[in-house]
Structure 1
Amino acid sequence: MENMKKVMVQFDFPNMTSKQYDQVWQDLRAAGHENPKGLIHHVSAQTDKGLKVVDVWENADKFNEFGQTLMPILAKNGITPTQPIVSPLHYEYSGNQVH
């Protein structure tokens, strides 16, 4: 049975550049994943070690399904996959709405 609890997914990509990140999104769009199914929020930030990505997904199953598309695209762009931290969402605030 599908896990229906929202999850926060955090990736740290050592040495990943913003140019590589932008190319990954171009490749995702080209593969028909401009709006990945189940993705609620996505942010990224350059750090002193590379790039950090934080997502909120409808559930872990949706994230894992998207991983089947994402992983080959990361490899194509020379990005070493890292193990994400997946945590059940405890609280979500978006603008003036509490979820």
Structure 2
Amino acid sequence: MAIIVTFDFPGAGPDLYDTVIHRVTAGQGFTRFEDVSNPGLISHVAGPVDGGFRVTEVWESPEALESHAKTFAPILADLGYADAQPTITPAHNVVVN
């Protein structure tokens, strides 16, 4: 079952996002996030919201997200966001064009 995953980072901006993405891509020998292998990731979008920054993703399953979290969790912890917990919602429908 696909899931919708939303991370909110109060007080953060695009610099936090760019730093995380840079660490992930550089750590895997890439320069673009879309080149990194993210098995199970259906979509990823990020942008500013009132008072912070939001990342929303659609994953094929909770297990795919758990595997992916092993890459991002240590980076977020290092940047002071160890307690960042996503909101996870079952997807009723997913359309990819």
TM-score tier, shorter chain, comes to 0.7 to 0.9
Equivalence map 1:1-99=2 (5 Å): 5-32=1-28, 34-95=36-97
- Kindly tell me the number of residue pairs found equivalent between the two proteins: 91
State the identity %: 33
SS of the residue 2:47 aligns to: strand
Q: Write out the 4+ residue segments of structure 1 that deviate beyond 6 Å after TM superposition.
A: none
Where does structure 1 lack aligned partners over 5 or more consecutive residues?
none
With normalisation by structure 2, the TM-score equals 0.82
Letter in 2 for 1:62: A
Q: Distance in 2 between matches of 1:77 and 1:45?
A: 18
RMSD: 1.6
Name the structure with the higher helix share.
Answer: 2
With normalisation by structure 1, the TM-score equals 0.81
Contact 2:73–2:82 under 8 Å retained in 1: no
Which one has a bigger Cα radius of gyration?
1
